[in-house]
Structure 1
Amino acid sequence: MRLLVVGAGSTGGYLGARLSKAGRDVTFLVRPERASLLRRDGLHVESPLGNVVLAPKVVTSGALDANYDAILLAVKAFQLDAALADLAPAVGSDTMILPVLNGMRHMDLLAKRFSSRNLVGCALKVATELQNDGRIVQLNPNQDFAYGELDGILSPRIGALDQFMQGAEIGARLSQDISRELWEKWILLASVGAITCLMRGTIGEIEASPGGAELALNLFDEVIGIVSACGEPPSDGFVGATRSLLTAKGSGFASSMFRDLKRGRAVESESIVGDLVRHGQAAGISAPLLATAYAHLSVYQRQIVAR
């Protein structure tokens, strides 16, 4: 199986490096500047699970001349339109596209641009950061990379993909309920992202503040209400675990969106929070806390663009 990783940032670079180290056939589709840096300096991953240094295979959009068996799409939501144009020559009728973007809007865009047959559901949970010097740092050893057919069937192609992913130390697992897991991931990202960015603190710092835990849980309930009306309701186990996570004393947990905000970087406020607010508005569901977080993030995003 030949895999094309679109983007060699914190997510794509991490997963692609692990798979390459495990002997898989991986090529990175990157911009010319990033390609030059990778060819010169290599790809460096620092991780509690073991470091990786390799000379990756890289290609730029103009040099794509064949279809790939699978494409791991690992870009930010605001980079998606450009990425779709770049990767189009690599997509054949049987190509599996594995998007590890946040939210759900990208699924509709990919199905419209290519075909719903090309889509494989993916839900990735890993904490990585791309440093200014190009290194990718995994912040903790926790990782979970679920994938599966959106209708839950165990197809031959998903079996082949699972074999390709296993043994690469990326927390890979095949899921027959990936659609629900995608909605649950959105709930988690929106809840943690909205509360940590709104309050400008970690979960533990918010919990230690007057009314902080109640505020986090009320926002969580708003998100669940929207998803239950517009998508797939979460499992009881997920709800219980997430409520505990959002109120954990002394927790240093925060969202990647909050980490980007602290570093003055652009954030995925539209796909993670804004799109969920719009889903709620369309369903007539009031979500004042989520809407406040979205307005807060929108102000920040406009300030970043104006710089």
Structure 2
Amino acid sequence: MRIATMATGGIGGFLAVKLANSGHQVATIARGDHLAAIVENGLTLLDTSGTELAHPWIATDDPSEVGEVDAIIFGVKGDALEAAARACLPMLGPDTVVVPFLNGVEASDRLLDILPERNVANGMAQVSTTIATAGVIKKTGEFNVFTFAERDSKPSGRIDSLRQAINKAGSTAPVTDSIERDVWSKFVLFSAVSGVTAAGRCTIGDIVSIPELGELFRQVVAETAAIGRALGVSLSSDIESRTWTAASGLPTSMRASTAIDLENGRPLEIEWISGAAVRLAKKAGIKAPINEALYALLLPHRHGARKSV
């Protein structure tokens, strides 16, 4: 397959290495020092099992140099979605599939404002990766699952082809009968992990060991699940208990990317996490006071480090 990664951050970089090294033509869209390092040295993946080096078919900051591709792995920060989506346009053919792997539940809908509906799928990633240094992607943890489908979850040859490519490359891309349910199931967990570890400046270990934090976490989970159900999402009846069990099994040192960005003075994705929960609750006609509180606490830091007064 001919596949582009837009952009080549943690998720795009991880899949770019895996797919390129399994024989696919991979175009990595990147910029600045990261792009320069990929051009000069290739793209390196640091994993718990070792190091992999891949040399992309094309590495560029100009998607018009790539041309039509079969699939676009779309993994950018929520605030960058519009600009990145417009940049994808030169790479689209009639059957190109754009698979979003962003935090939150609104990415696929937002892409429809910019890209043709026929090109847009839906997806969610369960992997912990980051750009360690320019040209180097670091993966922490053992899990790497990429779940995606057409927006209506109906069978699709192009989805099957990309799923097969990812599975053969050594990662995991399972079949799903409801991508909406899967995206929301992750959101139920992530809204709590993100909101609580960022606002509380804490870790999963703190949440599990401190009863008050654990109760706050469970309240966010229940509230976000209620929003999804009110919007007609077929979430499982036991998602609240299963989410707490899943969170309790995470590494104790784990924090959401939101918490890490806050610590480093970087802009926060809260508009697409706690802010999205608040927005969607209003759309559903229900209250979301816990998500509202977390969103308010993090709003002063939304645009990154604040200058001292």
Using structure 1 for the length normalisation, give the TM-score: 0.91
1:169 lines up with 2:170 in the alignment: yes
Q: Verify the 8 A CA contact 1:7 1:73 in the aligned structure 2.
A: yes
Which range moved further: 195-204 or 170-179?
A: 170-179
Cα displacement (A) at 1:237: 5.2
Deviations 1:226-250 (A, max 9, x none): 1111251422454332122345698
Q: Verify the 8 A CA contact 1:8 1:30 in the aligned structure 2.
A: yes
Q: Distance in 1 between matches of 2:78 and 2:92?
A: 20
Secondary structure class of the residue paired with 2:210 = coil
Name the counterpart of 2:9.
9
Amino acid at match of 1:110: L
Q: Verify the 8 A CA contact 1:61 1:87 in the aligned structure 2.
A: no
Q: Distance in 1 between matches of 2:84 and 2:235?
A: 31
Name the counterpart of 1:100.
101
Q: Verify the 8 A CA contact 2:68 2:92 in the aligned structure 1.
A: yes
Q: Distance in 1 between matches of 2:96 and 2:263?
A: 38
CA change 1:281–1:118 in 2 (3 A) is same
Cα displacement (A) at 1:55: 2.4
1:58 lines up with 2:59 in the alignment: yes
Secondary structure class of the residue paired with 2:202 = coil
Name the counterpart of 2:42.
42
Deviations 1:251-272 (A, max 9, x none): 3332222222223222211111
The two structures, once aligned, show a CA RMSD in angstroms of: 2.2
Secondary structure class of the residue paired with 2:273 = helix
Q: Verify the 8 A CA contact 1:49 1:141 in the aligned structure 2.
A: no
Q: Distance in 2 between matches of 1:296 and 1:212?
A: 15
Cα displacement (A) at 1:306: 5.5
Gaps of 5+ in 2: none
Amino acid at match of 1:181: D
Within a 5 Å distance, the mapping from 1:159-198 to structure 2 comes to 159-198=160-199
Name the counterpart of 1:121.
122
Cα displacement (A) at 1:60: 2.5
Which range moved further: 38-47 or 61-70?
A: 61-70
Q: Distance in 2 between matches of 1:49 and 1:115?
A: 40
Q: Verify the 8 A CA contact 2:2 2:25 in the aligned structure 1.
A: yes
Q: Distance in 2 between matches of 1:282 and 1:122?
A: 22
Q: Verify the 8 A CA contact 1:217 1:246 in the aligned structure 2.
A: no
Deviations 1:91-149 (A, max 9, x none): 12211111111223221221232222212221110011212444211111112111222
Gaps of 5+ in 1: none
Within a 5 Å distance, the mapping from 1:1-307 to structure 2 comes to 1-31=1-31, 33-56=33-56, 57-61=58-62, 63-64=64-65, 66-236=67-237, 238-247=239-248, 251-304=252-305
Q: Distance in 2 between matches of 1:46 and 1:30?
A: 18
Percent same amino acid at aligned positions?
Answer: 29
Q: Distance in 2 between matches of 1:168 and 1:62?
A: 24
Amino acid at match of 1:35: L
Amino acid at match of 1:28: T
Cα displacement (A) at 1:54: 2.2
Q: Verify the 8 A CA contact 1:187 1:223 in the aligned structure 2.
A: yes
Q: Distance in 2 between matches of 1:65 and 1:158?
A: 21
**What is the count of residue pairs matched by the alignment?**
307
Amino acid at match of 1:226: I
Q: Distance in 1 between matches of 2:24 and 2:63?
A: 24
Q: Distance in 2 between matches of 1:6 and 1:214?
A: 38
Q: Distance in 2 between matches of 1:117 and 1:305?
A: 42
